[in-house]
Structure 1
């Protein structure tokens, strides 16, 4: 039986001509050893996808705005979380609330999640050259409007009347279609890996330490009313989530961890980002060895090959897709279901009340 208070997981996915985010194009960082731009999805984005995969109610967030009457502007201020662990996204995702005249509370997420990035700099990256995309409504011209304004320095000038616009178009032999171009967009392709550590010590416990509080007094009272029991973990006194609530959350969390998907890119392109393999262990080094990219020495040009090393001390869950990208790999159609069951087993076996 696994007696470690941590579960370590590494997942390998295949990304095919996709986009992780649409804000200012594909996110990337630069690998100095191989001189390549590396597409990535942030750990925060992966965690958000997992939280959405729970299919449980989200806590209501308060979005604060401040109106400047003099400048006639609305400025967004810090959003406020209810800091209420009775909601699964707050319990698992963590929270923080601080500000002037507000008691500061903070809970660290028990899920530590890396960015999803190429398995090796030579096994995934950003497509080249860039592409141009369009926002096109030319097939339904009559349903849309085109507004044109005269140039007025740095500010927008007066709008042209219909007559002025028609005269300008005719005299300059121009057309203004219902189409907008978005230039120099990029996509990601290749084998991508992400890592996760689950801290079982804090997964279902919330500290009652008053010096670095995780709870407001009224929320602490609410938890006690809802059956949370006094306990003690490695960090001190805490309240422990009731067993029946844990039994509801654990299967949902296991399913979300294995089957999460990035949904923020779907308006631009769809890619299932299918899972090639999952490795689970109580040793972080072992999961890093288990799925890796190895440099090849038998070629004039630097190349790398993906490796699933079954000699590592870990549990392997390999899908049939692995045979498409890794020489000699074989998989099973029920691999991800078995991975879910392994996570459920590990999270259920931990002795939360006795710590």
Structure 2
């Protein structure tokens, strides 16, 4: 595979009687051709699952709350530190915009699709006959994060409540700011073969822009990065700071592992599915990964059907696991296929010349 500015990855997974995300039951969209309801996991949820699978130190978020003049507590927009020295910020992107303050925004170098059925006839949506309560937390590691609570006056001006006063308010009002719960009357389930696509922009993967017109960095964060050995450089988008080689060598294997082994862990205990990986395709050509793993209509049956297809003639590196033979006739998998996929991604990311993109 020739050197490219992009790496494209397509994954095929099997899900069984599970819930990806809750929004009036399992989220779904309607396929415009068949009219069937398609269960899906959003690209944002897939990205969050990948970031959580990095197993590297991550930045602490600031969760903001406001208590209005009626004494009612409401959640405000959380803030990230916008510090790309943390891998989750560097890879996941960030934005912080407040009134009368500088706005910074970094787009994630990972473009991630929704995980959706490989074909409308290969992924189903089912609904329980009985209701089931669903609970979820706003944070899986609450003690790691900071919580801000504000009180607002008649003019809407907010003032931060000190910790001692907040604790007194919580005690006197018998309140907590912990988990939220959502209880749908009925719950939908997803079953079938699901696919997702990821594009990795190597040009920005480890490069953070220093453009002052559309800033990605607060001045103090830029100073911090320089002091930590980030290198002055230039890519197609302009001047930038480049993550040091030794830090890249730490992040790249973790990212490759996360891209291959992420799991949706927010689904409920009674709806857990292994969501096992059937196959992965890696290429520098987006069309080729679409050809490599696809669903095909059959016209030799009375009722319209589709079959999954792994096409080894596509110009892509294919990594097929042994479970593929359960769903795709004639497929022969390898027990170390996912380890091979990880190594392929590591090699491609390591080979890219981040410091000399404009030479």
Provide the TM-score with structure 2 as the length reference. 0.84
Q: Decide whether the 8 Å contact of 1:37 with 1:125 is kept in 2.
A: yes
What is the CA–CA distance in structure 1 between the aligned matches of 2:63 and 2:225, rounded to whole Å? 25
Quick one: which of 275, 296, 299 aligns to 1:297?
A: 299
Quick one: which of 234, 237, 240 aligns to 1:238?
A: 240
Match of 1:59 in 2: 59
Ranges in structure 2 where 5+ consecutive residues have no aligned partner: 135-182
The question of 1:2 aligning with 2:2 is answered yes
Change (3 A) 1:129 1:66: closer
What is the CA–CA distance in structure 1 between the aligned matches of 2:127 and 2:249, rounded to whole Å? 47
Q: How far is 1:67 from its partner?
A: 1.6
What is the CA–CA distance in structure 2 between the aligned matches of 1:115 and 1:55, rounded to whole Å? 23
What is the CA–CA distance in structure 2 between the aligned matches of 1:252 and 1:7, rounded to whole Å? 16
Match of 1:322 in 2: 324
What is the CA–CA distance in structure 1 between the aligned matches of 2:133 and 2:352, rounded to whole Å? 52
Query: Residue 44 of structure 2: SS of its match in structure 1?
Result: helix
Match of 1:33 in 2: 33
What is the CA–CA distance in structure 2 between the aligned matches of 1:237 and 1:185, rounded to whole Å? 50
Q: Decide whether the 8 Å contact of 1:286 with 1:314 is kept in 2.
A: yes
Ranges in structure 1 where 5+ consecutive residues have no aligned partner: 136-180
Q: How far is 1:130 from its partner?
A: 4.3
Provide the TM-score with structure 1 as the length reference. 0.85
Quick one: which of 192, 197, 208 aligns to 1:195?
A: 197
Query: Residue 30 of structure 2: SS of its match in structure 1?
Result: strand
Q: How far is 1:282 from its partner?
A: 0.1
Query: Residue 330 of structure 2: SS of its match in structure 1?
Result: coil
Match of 1:339 in 2: 341
Higher mean displacement: 23-32 or 329-338: 23-32
Q: How far is 1:341 from its partner?
A: 0.2
Match of 1:93 in 2: 92
What is the CA–CA distance in structure 1 between the aligned matches of 2:291 and 2:282, rounded to whole Å? 12
Q: How far is 1:66 from its partner?
A: 1.9
Q: How far is 1:128 from its partner?
A: 4.6
Q: How does 1:1-355 map to 2 (within 5 A)?
A: 2-69=2-69, 71-128=70-127, 130-133=129-132, 183-355=185-357
